Amino acid sequence: MIEEFLRNKKVGFEVVRHELAFTAQETAAADHVSGYEFAKTVIVTDGAQCYMLVLAAPYAVDLKKASKLIGKKLKLATEEQMKPLFPDCDVGAEPPFGSLYHLPTWVDESLARREEIVFRAGTHEETIKMRYDDYVKVENPAVGSFAALS
């Protein structure tokens, strides 16, 4: 689905197949890219609405910063809350396009400094590599600071 979405948006991208990997850092290593280029997604909720946060693999979401940025008290969404939001994705392999899933999307400013990003394509065995500027053109995420070294 994500490949068709990107083709329809007429942006360049490369699909990379790799061995099964579950964590963002494992996936970055399998793809032979820096964790700082790997865009992982974290889903948070205020209890009524879910939000997609996109940040580099080595970082964790600082919930206080994210709450302040979004203006709502946030907590991490559970797998049970996430499953119905991403019916076409493996749990934990969501691509960073909240617009496809009707989710407001925020990207951490640390990724905004990257020329290219790599992210999961909905499975634990495929990633997509594309220019960060093309990602912004397609997704138009809000940009802010909510990452902390984990």
Tens of pLDDT along the chain (150 residues) come to 799 999 999 999 999 887 777 777 777 677 777 788 999 999 999 999 999 999 999 999 999 999 999 999 999 999 889 989 999 999 889 999 999 999 999 999 989 889 999 999 999 889 999 999 999 999 999 999 999 987
Please report whether residue 149 resides in a domain.
Answer: no
In this predicted structure, what is the pLDDT of residue 48? Answer: 94
Please report whether residue 97 resides in a domain.
Answer: yes
Please report whether residue 18 resides in a domain.
Answer: yes
In this predicted structure, what is the pLDDT of residue 56? Answer: 94
CATH number at residue 84: 3.90.960.10
Count other C-beta atoms under 10 Å from residue 49's C-beta. Answer: 13
Please report whether residue 115 resides in a domain.
Answer: yes
Give the domain range for residue 51.
2-144
State the burial class of residue 140 (Cβ atoms within 10 Å of its Cβ: 0-12, 13-18, 19+).
exposed
Q: Which helix (H) or strand (E) holds 25?
A: helix 24-30
Please report whether residue 150 resides in a domain.
Answer: no
Please report whether residue 19 resides in a domain.
Answer: yes
Whole-Å CA distances, 83 to 20, 42, 86, 101: 20, 13, 6, 12
In this predicted structure, what is the pLDDT of residue 30? Answer: 72
Whole-Å CA distances, 74 to 45, 52, 71, 107, 149: 5, 11, 9, 16, 19
Closest to 89 in 3D by CA, of 41, 133, 45: 41
Gap between the Cα atoms of 20 and 38, Å rounded? 16
The DSSP bridge pattern shows strands 59-61 and 50-56 to be: unpaired
Number of domains in the chain: 1
